[in-house]
Amino acid sequence: MWENSAPKNKLFQNSSKTTPSKMRPGIHLQRVDAQLKAVGVIGSESEPKVIRIFLNEFSPTEVAVFSKVAWAAGQEVAVTFQDPRRFYVRGQIAWCKEFNSRSRVHSENTFSYRVGIQLLFDNEEESQAVVKFHQELSAILYGVEPVAASVA
């Protein structure tokens, strides 16, 4: 398509220039440890497992976490945040995939699995509490109060 690479190179150079109109506010990633516990099935309740969450990946309907152990899809779980404040929510494992971070940091605390959790609510009050928690996280992460969101 390009006979001469000069127009192509100029196109890429212009597209990578940052102008004030293209600048976006920085995204602050905040990682916290939380606890994940199996619930709902007799005999499957166990000690809570430590998980790691990027708060940016929490939404009013789902959350993706890092785990040291694999979880079965469909399993009902309870997630307990300790930071930025204590918060409890129930959910169901939607998916679990082995995760290879290819990290150069060698640690005994490797989180080898990515786990998707669909949040569950018994009533409108619980869903509104999650929406409020999500708004609090957005204020912490982005420094602005978000527009009120609702669970679809």
Domain range annotation of the chain: 28-142
Asked if residue 33 has pLDDT above 70, the reply is: yes
Mean of pLDDT over the chain: 79
Mean pLDDT to the nearest integer, 95-102 = 82
Asked if residue 133 has pLDDT above 90, the reply is: yes
pLDDT (tens digit, 9 = 90+) per residue, 37-92?
Answer: 998 765 555 789 999 999 989 999 999 999 999 999 999 999 999 988 999 999 99
**Looking at residue 25, what DSSP letter applies?**
P
Which CATH superfamily includes the segment(s) 28-142?
A: predicted glycosyltransferase like domains (2.40.10.220)
In the chain, DSSP assigns E strands to 31-38, 49-54, 62-67, 76-81, 87-98, 113-120
Q: Give one DSSP letter per residue of 121-146, joined into a string.
A: -SSHHHHHHHHHHHHHHHHHHHSSPP
CA distances from 51 to 17, 67, 95 (A): 39, 5, 15
What's residue 146's pLDDT? 54
Note the pTM of the prediction, 2 decimals. 0.71
CA 64 from centroid of its chain's CA atoms: 4
What's residue 86's pLDDT? 94
**CA dihedral in degrees (28, 29, 32, 37; nearest 10)?**
130
Mean pLDDT to the nearest integer, 17-46 = 67
Q: What is the sign of the dihedral through the CA atoms of 125, 130, 135 and 137?
A: positive
Mean pLDDT to the nearest integer, 13-42 = 66
Cβ contacts of 35 within 8 Å, gap of 6 or more: 48, 49, 50, 51, 79, 80, 82
Exposed, middle or buried, 123 (CB in 10 Å: 0-12/13-18/19+)?
exposed
What's residue 9's pLDDT? 54
